[in-house]
Every structure is written in structure tokens, then in C-alpha cells.
Structure 1
Amino acid sequence: MTAAQAQRVFRHRTTYLLTSQAHQAALTLLTEAVVDAGTTAAVIGIAGGGRTPAEEIAARLDVPVCHVEARHNSSDALYTQATGTVAVSIPDGFPDALGGRILLVDDICGTGATFTAVTGALGPRLARGAHVETVALCRNVGSPVRPDWWVWDVDDWVVFPWEPRPEIAVYPLPSPERIRTP
């Protein structure tokens, strides 16, 4: 099954909340893992949800950050399935030749379609020898794609600190204990 064909798993048992404290702890673990793996040249955030974690990781690494737009959800409503078709927009002023190790950051890897589409769109802007590695806070258990680094496997909707809190019961994700890798 490809990322475009995959469906996110929503068990409808709980809506998870990523608290600010757990978010900061996750960023610390992710940054430490990235540093241990080598030098990073730049960080790219996938807007909207990847913008905040990308900026914070880039600041911790003291490397440049830029953003791309990618969208495939038909709305931001809870439990919306992804369409599998991702529209990617690279803004004016985006670097023409990225070199070295580039971190591509998003809040969640729901199906992997966004990571796949954005990585493909970045291809013409990568210098010889450059490579993209993916980072997510969460990975939906329905995703056939595994980012290079992520913190939580989830089986329901996640509300992130930069999103409006819904008027339903939410349950905090546990404090992060480790980084997951493929």
C-alpha cells in the first residue's frame, strides 16, 4: 500500500492532546537524536502543523529554517481522512540549492503522503549529495511510511499546542520516553 492509498486510523476512543510540556520534551529528544546522527544544514517545516516544531528544532540546532505549504485534508475538522492527493507550494525566495542533510519536519505523519509529495517537490532544489530526512512528532499507526525520527505512535486524532482546543474531552499524550526510528 502506498502513502497515497493509506487511511489514517481513528479508533474514536480518545482525542489526544499534545501538551506544551510534552511538546518541549519531545523536541529535546528529537534534537538530541538529530545531533547524534550528524550535521544538519537546514530545516524545512511543512506548514501549517510543521511550522512550529521546525522553527524550534532549527533554533536549537542553530541552522536556517524555511517552510513549504502542503495540503491534502479537505478540512481541519476532527477525524477528517486525508485525500491522498497533496498540493505542494514552494514559496518565492525559497533556496534554489539546498545541500547536506535537510530535515523535513511535520507535526504528524498521518499516511506519509505529505512527506512523500514534499520530498519529491524538493528534489530539483537539492544540490548533489544533499539528502532529506523526515521528522514528526506523531505517526499514525495506519501510515505505511515511517519518518526517520518520531516520538509517538497514535491511533486517534491529536490536537497540537498551536491548534484551537476542541470542546470535547481530550487526553494528554504521555511524556515522551524515546525516539522511534524505522
Structure 2
Amino acid sequence: MTQTAPAQRVFRRQTTYLVTARAYETALALLADAAAAAGPIATVVGIAGGGKRPAEEIAARLGVPACHVAAQHNASDAQYTQATGKVTVTVPDDFPAALGGRILLVDDICGTGATFTAVAEALAERLAPDVRVDNVALCRNVGSPLCPAWWAWDVDDWVVFPWESRPDTALQPLPVPERIHTP
């Protein structure tokens, strides 16, 4: 049996990107608008840690409920940690027993796509047969073979989000997005 190596995120190691509060707010508005334009949304599911806050804010903008699952992909949050390909998903006890309609699955970054895939698999038995799941991310690493339905930035280095502590290094702010990416 041949085992393939997990996809690797691209880190140029030349800068650390910063998502400023203004860029974040603009990205959330653009992501919510793009998702809404594709049809009604029943629920927004945030992937905690990094997807919890954007999921709650997108859900509030759309006027729909939000819920969360936890996913652990890396052994640490240290800069330049590569993906292992192994994702542990924890669905909380208070998570809805069944989801229908159109679901937005939200995370802060799509590094390899493994987290989106693992969460979708973990939720599969709770999804109605006609459910549609769309992935939404603030950032997509250029090394990811998976493209979410919508994302704000393509990145090729480490990213610091507004809710994270800033490392003791120079930060390059990402531009305020003018449009959203889609495959």
C-alpha cells in the first residue's frame, strides 16, 4: 500500500502577514455577501480555534445561526509548523443532531484542506441527504490543493489574525480586499 505525504503549506519565510482589523472587517463583509449571493444559508459552522470568530461574525451578518466544532491539525501553533495530515475533530455535545439546507463551513485559513475535509467527514452523519456544504476561509495558502468556495487572500507565508498575539517580528499587513476569490 502506497501512502502519500500530506500536502505542504508554502512558507517563503520572508515575512509574516498581518490581517488588520480593517482588512478583516472588509473580508467578512465580502465573504458574507458572496455566500449570500449563491443562495439561502441555513447554518454557519465555525472550525475552532481560528474559524470560530469569523463564523460567528458571518452568521450575524447573514442573520442565521452559528455553531462550532473543534479541530486540531498541528501539534503546536508555532510559526512555520507544517501540516501533519492528521486532524482530530471534536463535535460538542450541544451541536445540532441534524443539519439541512446550505451550510457554510468557516475557518481562518485553508492551509492544506485537510481540516475542511476532516470536519465535513465528521459531520456527514448529521447532514440531511440534500445538504450543501460550502467552505469559506479568510486565507488560502498557495500550497493547498483544496480551494474553498470563497476566500479573501492567497498567502505564501505565515499569517497572524486580529485575535492572535503578535510575534516579535516584522509584520506585513495584507491589503484590504476589494474582491473575493473563488475557484
TM range (shorter): over 0.9
Task: Tell me if structure 1 keeps the 8 A contact 2:6–2:83.
Answer: no
Structure 1 vs Structure 2: percent identity of aligned residues? 69
Q: Which moved more, 1:55-64 or 1:123-132?
A: 123-132
| Counterpart for residue 29 of structure 2 | 28
| Counterpart for residue 181 of structure 2 | 180
Letter in 2 for 1:29: L
The answer for unaligned runs of 5 or more in structure 1 is none
TM value normalised by structure 1: 0.97
| Counterpart for residue 59 of structure 1 | 60
Take 1:40 and 1:96, find their aligned partners in 2: how far apart are those partners?
Answer: 18
Take 1:3 and 1:18, find their aligned partners in 2: how far apart are those partners?
Answer: 33
| Counterpart for residue 121 of structure 1 | 122
Q: How does 1:72-151 map to 2 (within 5 A)?
A: 72-151=73-152
Take 1:49 and 1:74, find their aligned partners in 2: how far apart are those partners?
Answer: 15
Report Cα offsets for 1:131-155 as digits up to 9, x if no partner. 2110000000000000010010000
| Runs of 4+ with deviation above 6 angstroms | none
The answer for unaligned runs of 5 or more in structure 2 is none
| Backbone CA RMSD of aligned residues | 1.3
Does residue 5 (structure 1) correspond to residue 14 (structure 2)? The answer is no
- How many residues of Structure 1 are paired with residues of Structure 2 in the alignment? 181
Take 1:90 and 1:168, find their aligned partners in 2: how far apart are those partners?
Answer: 35
Report Cα offsets for 1:38-67 as digits up to 9, x if no partner. 000000000000001000000000100000
Q: 1:24, CA displacement in angstroms?
A: 0.1
| Counterpart for residue 43 of structure 1 | 44
TM value normalised by structure 2: 0.97
Take 2:36 and 2:163, find their aligned partners in 1: how far apart are those partners?
Answer: 25
Q: 1:3, CA displacement in angstroms?
A: 9.9
Take 2:89 and 2:161, find their aligned partners in 1: how far apart are those partners?
Answer: 22
Task: Tell me if structure 2 keeps the 8 A contact 1:97–1:126.
Answer: yes
SS in 1 for 2:95: coil
Take 2:34 and 2:59, find their aligned partners in 1: how far apart are those partners?
Answer: 14
